[in-house]
Chain A
């Protein structure tokens, strides 16, 4: 693969710029996008840097088109991606649904902004349900919720491999803070870290003489009979379950002896991590658990931890009105631990907020 970064180096850049470099380093051939804050600079950097490496960009007429052009590009055998946010993420649910239904290795970077509707252009964690379960299907998607620029870089690279390996659409779920902030990170070419990038392959335009060398490639996403669709969806479900073991990622911090477990994801998990240290200084035994993959969710891992640790309480903290908490509750159904919440839809959460909340319930 073409070397983009050369010698591994430190950089101090915005998350959006990190996405553009990571996609280049991952060997993405093209980006299709439509302007929306706080994602714009992914396109701005991509349009400036990518021509030097003969990669392409098209600004489409809207997000529906951006998503479908990515569907076409990956079907033709190219690594392709898009980036969006908020109302753009809403519009992209149609092409994301096609990617789900046809198992297309589409990659999308989502920089969450406030909602509903145009909301704010700033920040939120309100696109969890949409990104994980949007559309009229079963959420056969992979969603990485990042919390630092290093993770944005790492998981953007990883997203292309996960997508092409398992053929489910893959999402890097960031937010406006991660998009726009500057932060130090290490940039590298995947090979230098021992990461082997999967070579993309076409699903159509396969060459040879049709009828002689091969049969034509036919793809569809609509079925005549209930049973046909049922079989397809059940097969997806089976494949999804099978790959989950390898794809699930999470992080635990000071859980072993914790009386209270804080559950957070994305950028809020940074506040949770700091809060745990502050609370420990105050003599409160806190720990935190953070799913990195929201889909597939590390449900078994969470349950195992809870049954071992037996905390007195759980606190779910998120910048939404319980979208993440729903995922959590779904996974720990039957556990008998009081669950407290700190919900701030569309607002940032800092360590102090979590510390105060814990002190008020402990």
Chain B
């Protein structure tokens, strides 16, 4: 039987991974693994993992990595990058970690145009803590802390991260939104987000729309429908800012 190959930069002793069945995190990490392989940067890439389901990847790669605190991955990565600019620093976080508790770090790192790459997994909820509302929760979406559906009147509308980052970064920043349902695009954007840092162009930010069937309480079909129909129509896919020119493969 021919099994799909795992990226070379994945760390085999820690496979199979610990995410729930149907979780999107594994797909994002696959794109990251293949991008690291193809750019040949495994030995100099440092991963920072936020507290959230991201932390389940703390020993995922055959790369040096550090798990940080909830929301604090961005400043830890800034500290490493500023001390050792030759390293490729990749912060990996959830939408709660990035847009809520860590939002001041995200904003200020972006404004300072820190030469790091952040990959933020948007699954419209707080996965690890059992499915509470996140800044990205869709209007009407039920979560443990919005049991009657998110009401924009009292809790606002979903955070549009890339749009916000694009508005405050320099021209050479890289800002994009991908989805686990379009793997080729996801991988291309992931590579661009890493290349941008390798070429010292500045802040690189990739949001990835992802799935959380456990907390959405959805079956496979419903999970995919929610991602492709609800999420992808609220959060627009594409490169919002790229120094490489649109359409570069």
A residues near B (Cβ < 8 Å) are 34-37, 40, 43-44, 47-48, 51, 57-59, 61-63, 87, 117-118
Contacts and interface: CB of A to CB of B under 8 A. Distances in A.
B25 to A, nearest CB: 18
Contacts of B69: 87, 117-118
B100 A62 contact: yes
* 9 closest Cβ pairs, A-B complex: A62-B101, A35-B129, A35-B132, A61-B100, A44-B144, A59-B145, A48-B147, A35-B126, A47-B145
B146 A87 contact: no
B70 interface: yes
Contacts, number: 49
Interface in B61-92: 67, 69-71
Interface in B132-173: 132-133, 135, 144-148, 154-155
B130 interface: yes
Given A40-B130, A43-B132, A87 B148 contact: no
B103 interface: yes
Contacts of B51: 118
Given A34-B101, A44-B147, A59-B145, 6 more contacts: A35-B126, A37-B130, A40-B129, A43-B132, A61-B101, A62-B71
B147 A118 contact: no
Interface string B90-132: 0000001000110100000000000000000000001001101
Contacts of B103: 61
A43 B71 CA distance: 20
A36 B145 contact: no
12 contacts: A35-B132, A40-B129, A40-B130, A44-B145, A47-B144, A57-B145, A58-B154, A61-B135, A63-B101, A118-B51, A118-B55, A118-B67
Contacts of A36: 129
Contacts of B146: 47
Contact of B148 (A35, A51, A118): A51
A95 B155 CA distance: 22
Nearest to A90: B69
A63 B71 CA distance: 11
A59 B148 contact: no
Contacts of A37: 129-130
B172 to A, nearest CB: 29
Which of B71, B132, B146, B155 has the largest number of chain A CB atoms within 10 A?
B132
Contacts of B132: 35, 40, 43, 59
Which of A34, A35, A118 has the largest number of chain B CB atoms within 10 A?
A35
Contacts of A43: 132, 144-145
A51 B146 CA distance: 11
B71 A35 contact: no
A62 B132 CA distance: 13
A103 B129 CA distance: 33
A34 B145 CA distance: 10
Contacts of A62: 71, 100-101
A161 to B, nearest CB: 28
Contacts of B130: 35, 37, 40
Contact of B147 (A47, A63, A117): A47
Nearest to B100: A61
Given A87-B69, A118-B51, A40 B144 contact: yes
A36 B132 CA distance: 10
Nearest to B99: A61
Contacts of B145: 35, 43-44, 47, 57, 59
B72 to A, nearest CB: 10
Nearest to A39: B129
A92 to B, nearest CB: 12
A244 to B, nearest CB: 36
